[in-house]
């Protein structure tokens, strides 16, 4: 049982008496340590398998723990989530404690919350229903009753999605409706179990006689309600082992708090405390950056941070890449991913992590364009989201009946038309305060507004109908079924997972930390969220940000403050860390054959190559000439390019414009580039398309016939 454990893990495994607190950093083998501890105790005859209850927070983690315990010969140990363990006890003791059958547990709270809103004459849309439901859940896990909600929310600095008095009223009405209908919810399982154990000492004694030793994983995520249940399970005993890392507390919005972990030695003065700092997951380069992030942290959790020590061989330095705009950033990530795939890395070992689910669309598009399979974790695909589908229906209706739609009165161009239509779906010019479903819905609609602005900039004459067609084509192109692929995930949903290569994208002020993180503690939780993202990487780590949202936009963004003193060229409190060799900044380049092709970096004013006038129109900028200036396009070359594009579009199953737009083909036929350097200077020919199509385009421009298999049948 002890072979193969490092000294600290061995100390955990052999600490079988009294309270034990394991402070385990990311990738330090905590699950290995605690499962070997349980199995060693069983083999030594100190622990009885049926008397051990190991609890964690997800069914996946509990299943993994059960599997490991079976392999180690401790199959009789119970490994469950808090809710699963409580439900089992509640079902068993309900007839004895209350009588009759346990009330039905509802799958969804929202229908009852909607009925409560109707009873209170408060109108809530679907997303407000989700946010109010989340507030009710938070109240229950923090043991806050309806009358105390407003005060509790104010004390914790919680931004309520509605007036706190209204939420308290809805919360009370929701509880009344549940009682009337004889149903209970997910949180009631814990609350009722706590109530029975508090009121019925005979039942509490029976539970304690069954379970004599407890192990709690991810202890930094315990809510006050879960902590109270644990205390009732324990009674006056101290046979408890907890495992956690305050630096990975990222779920405070659900009621989780690291205080129970940090106060463990206060509640148990004689506790054995073991720190696991040997990181077996990540390379020294990744670990150095992770340590640097926490070295700048402030607050109570930061005071208890762990300094990780990598046990792996050296790997590549983290790459920091600055891009001009978000589409270029997504394109750059897709290009690097394609290089990793070409080098033999399986797609399932690569992840792209972002702060909000609304960021997924641009990466879904970039990976789909590059022909890279992907899977979206923890969120619906962008065009499958209900608010996006509903917005598409509204835009389609406005395109069909726009002349008779009063919403479009005064809307003089395509972007203003889209803003007018989506305002009826909940979009506003300023985002709603706080996080939650309402904010996520707004961000999805804002992404459509931004897409419309970019589309109009590229096609000034485009109509609302053209945009609807564009949205349909994008949706169809992105939804090819995939079984195995690159993971796209939010930083929150990446917790507990790991990959060989991780791309943490959008690491700019306003997104990391997020704009609505105002207090010091909220800012520090954002830092911990980035720390979690960084520590998901085993070997390859790419961190990137964009200076503007869209091509040609004002480059007003700056890299996240969390990278100050860590990324090369930055100054800050941790400048010494950068000097120690963290990372290497790269502006992004690609190759065709052996020729390095630098990306366009600093934008200079575009001028017409015929008359010299400064260009501002997106279409003219793509052609590098005024629409009124004469064209010297090679008509024959243009037709050959169009025929070639048709073949490529047919093969990829995408619209022709996804290969190159008409204007880009015109620009190529006018410039007749002779090498990759000249080709990449043409707007619309990014690195991704240069790598994919550059050789063909240059061959066509040189008058060469492509191979027979490249011709259209």
Query: Which tens digits make up the pLDDT trace of 508-555?
Result: 998 999 887 888 888 999 999 999 999 999 999 999 999 988 887 788
Look up residue 686 and give its two tokens.
């990014």
DSSP code, position 250: -
Would the pLDDT of 201 be above 50?
Answer: yes
Over range 65-74, report the average pLDDT.
87
Find residue 597's DSSP bridge partners.
590
Nearest to 469 by CA among 660, 659, 663, 655: 655
pLDDT band at 582 (very low <50, low <70, confident <90, very high): very low
- The annotated binding site for ATP is made up of 24-31
Give the per-residue pLDDT at 586.
34
Distance between CA 113 and CA 117 in Å, rounded? Answer: 6
Please count the CA atoms within 13 angstroms of the CA of 597 that sit on its side-chain side. Answer: 21
Rounded to an integer, the average pLDDT of 185-195 is 93
Of residues 371 and 410, which shows the higher confidence score? 371
* Dihedral class, residue 703 (left if φ above 0, else alpha if ψ from -120 to 50, else beta): left
Residue 314: is its pLDDT beyond 80? yes
Report the Cα 314 to chain-centroid distance in Å.
28
Helices (H) and strands (E) in the chain, counts: 28, 19
Band (626; pLDDT cuts 50, 70, 90): low
Q: Are 525 and 221 in contact (CB under 8 A)?
A: no
Cis omega before residue 513 (within 30°)? yes
Secondary structure letter of residue 403 according to DSSP = G
Q: Could you write out the three-class secondary structure of 621-646? A: HHHCCCCCCCCCCCHHHHHHHHHHHH
pLDDT at 87 > cutoff 70: yes
* Residue 372 pLDDT greater than 80, yes or no: yes
pLDDT tens digit sequence for 557-567: 899 999 998 98
Q: Compute the average pLDDT of residues 597-611.
A: 47
How far is Cα of residue 395 from the mean position of the Cα atoms in its chain?
28
User: Does residue 666 or residue 480 have the better pLDDT?
Assistant: 666
Is 710 buried (19+), middle (13-18) or exposed (0-12) by CB count in 10 A? middle
Q: How far apart are alpha carbons 388 and 358 in whole angstroms?
A: 11
In the prediction, which pLDDT does 185 show? 92
Q: Write down the pLDDT at residue 604.
A: 42
The secondary element (H helix, E strand) that includes residue 105 is strand 104-105
Please tell me the pTM assigned to this model. 0.66
What's the rounded mean pLDDT across residues 445-474?
A: 81
Greatest Cα-to-Cα distance within the chain, rounded to the nearest angstrom? 94
Closest C-alpha to 350, from 536, 492, 486, 482: 486
User: Residues at the annotated binding site?
Assistant: 24-31
pLDDT value of position 480: 34
* DSSP-based helix, strand, coil % in the chain, nearest 5: 50, 15, 35
Task: Give the model's confidence band at 481: pLDDT under 50 very low, under 70 low, under 90 confident, else very high.
Answer: very low
How far apart (Å, rounded) are the C-alpha atoms in residues 254 and 587?
Answer: 39
Burial of 199 (0-12, 13-18, 19+ CB in 10 A): exposed
Q: How many residues does the chain have?
A: 713
pLDDT at 506 (0 to 100): 94
Determine the pLDDT at residue 589.
35
Residue 314: phi and psi, rounded to 5, are -60, 145
pLDDT tens digits for range 30-61? 999 999 999 999 998 898 999 999 999 888 88
CA-based nearest residue to 71, from 46, 38, 48, 26? 38
> What mean pLDDT is reported for the chain?
83
Q: Give the Cα separation of 515 and 523 in Å (integer).
A: 10
The per-residue pLDDT for 597 is: 39
101: alpha, beta or left? (left if phi > 0; alpha if psi -120 to 50): beta
594 falls in which pLDDT band (50, 70, 90)? very low
């Amino acid at each position: 049982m002890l072979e193969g454990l490092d000294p600290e893990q061995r100390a955990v495994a052999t600490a079988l008496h009294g309270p034990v607190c394991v402070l385990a950093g990311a990738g330090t083998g905590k699950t290995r340590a605690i499962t070997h501890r349980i199995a060693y105790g069983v083999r030594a005859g100190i622990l009885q398998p049926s008397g051990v209850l190991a609890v964690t927070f997800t069914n996946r983690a509990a299943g993994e723990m059960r599997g490991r315990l079976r392999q180690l010969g401790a199959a009789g140990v119970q490994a469950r989530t808090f809710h699963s363990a409580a439900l089992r006890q509640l079902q068993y003791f309900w007839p004895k404690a209350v009588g009759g059958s346990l009330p039905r547990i509802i799958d969804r709270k929202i229908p009852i919350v909607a009925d409560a809103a109707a009873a209170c004459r408060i109108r809530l849309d679907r997303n407000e229903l989700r946010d109010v439901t989340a507030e009710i859940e938070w109240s229950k896990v923090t043991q806050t009753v309806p009358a105390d909600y407003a005060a509790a929310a104010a004390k914790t600095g919680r931004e309520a999605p509605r007036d706190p008095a209204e939420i308290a009223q809805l919360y009370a009405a929701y509880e009344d409706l549940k009682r009337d209908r004889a149903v209970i919810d997910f949180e009631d399982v814990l609350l009722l179990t706590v109530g029975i154990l508090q009121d019925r000492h005979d039942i509490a004694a029976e539970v304690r006689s069954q379970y004599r030793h407890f192990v709690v994983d991810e202890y930094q995520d315990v809510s006050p309600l879960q902590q109270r249940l644990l205390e009732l399970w324990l009674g006056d005993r101290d046979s408890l082992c907890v495992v956690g890392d305050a630096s990975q507390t990222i779920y405070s919005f659900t009621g989780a708090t690291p205080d129970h972990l940090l106060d463990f030695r206060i509640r148990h003065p004689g506790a054995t405390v073991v720190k696991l700092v040997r990181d077996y997951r990540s390379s020294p380069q990744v670990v150095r950056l992770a340590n640097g992030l926490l070295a700048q942290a402030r607050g109570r959790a930061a005071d208890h941070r762990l300094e990780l020590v990598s046990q792996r061989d050296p790997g590549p330095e983290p790459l920091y890449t600055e891009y001009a705009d978000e589409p270029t950033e997504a394109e750059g990530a897709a290009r690097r991913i394609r290089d990793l795939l070409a080098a033999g890395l399986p797609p399932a070992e690569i992840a792209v992590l972002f702060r909000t689910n609304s960021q997924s669309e641009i990466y879904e598009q970039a990976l789909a364009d590059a022909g890279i399979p992907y899977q979206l974790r923890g969120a619906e695909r962008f065009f499958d989201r209900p608010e996006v589908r509903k917005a598409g229906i509204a835009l389609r209706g406005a395109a069909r009946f726009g002349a008779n739609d009063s919403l479009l009165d005064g809307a003089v161009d395509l972007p203003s038309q889209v803003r007018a239509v989506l305002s009826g779906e909940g979009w506003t010019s300023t985002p709603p305060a706080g996080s939650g479903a309402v904010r996520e819905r707004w961000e999805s609609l804002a992404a459509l507004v931004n897409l419309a602005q970019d589309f109009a900039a590229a096609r000034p004459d485009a109509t609302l109908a053209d945009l609807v067609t564009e949205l349909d084509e994008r949706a169809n192109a992105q939804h090819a079924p995939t079984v195995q692929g690159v993971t796209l995930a939010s930083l929150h949903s990446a917790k507990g997972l790991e990959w060989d290569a991780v791309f943490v994208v959008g690491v700019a002020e306003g997104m990391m930390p997020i704009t609505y993180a105002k207090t010091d503690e909220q800012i520090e939780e954002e830092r911990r969220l980035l720390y979690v993202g960084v520590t998901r990487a085993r070997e390859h780590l790419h961190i990137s940000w964009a200076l503007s949202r869209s091509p040609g936009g004002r480059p007003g963004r700056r890299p996240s403050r969390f990278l100050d003193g860590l990324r090369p060229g930055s100054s800050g409190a941790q400048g010494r860390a950068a000097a120690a060799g963290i990372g290497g900044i790269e502006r992004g380049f690609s190759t065709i054959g052996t020729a390095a092709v630098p990306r366009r970096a600093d934008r200079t004013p575009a001028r017409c190559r015929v008359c010299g006038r400064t260009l501002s129109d997106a279409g003219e900028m793509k052609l590098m000439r005024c629409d009124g200036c004469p064209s010297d396009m090679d008509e024959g070359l243009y037709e050959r390019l169009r025929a070639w594009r048709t073949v490529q579009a047919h093969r990829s199953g995408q619209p022709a414009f996804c290969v190159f737009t008409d204007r880009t083909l015109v620009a190529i036929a006018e410039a007749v580039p002779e090498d990759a350097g000249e080709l990449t200077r043409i707007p619309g020919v990014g690195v991704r398309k240069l790598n994919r199509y550059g050789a063909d385009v240059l061959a066509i421009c040189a008058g060469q016939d492509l191979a027979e298999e490249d011709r259209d049948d």
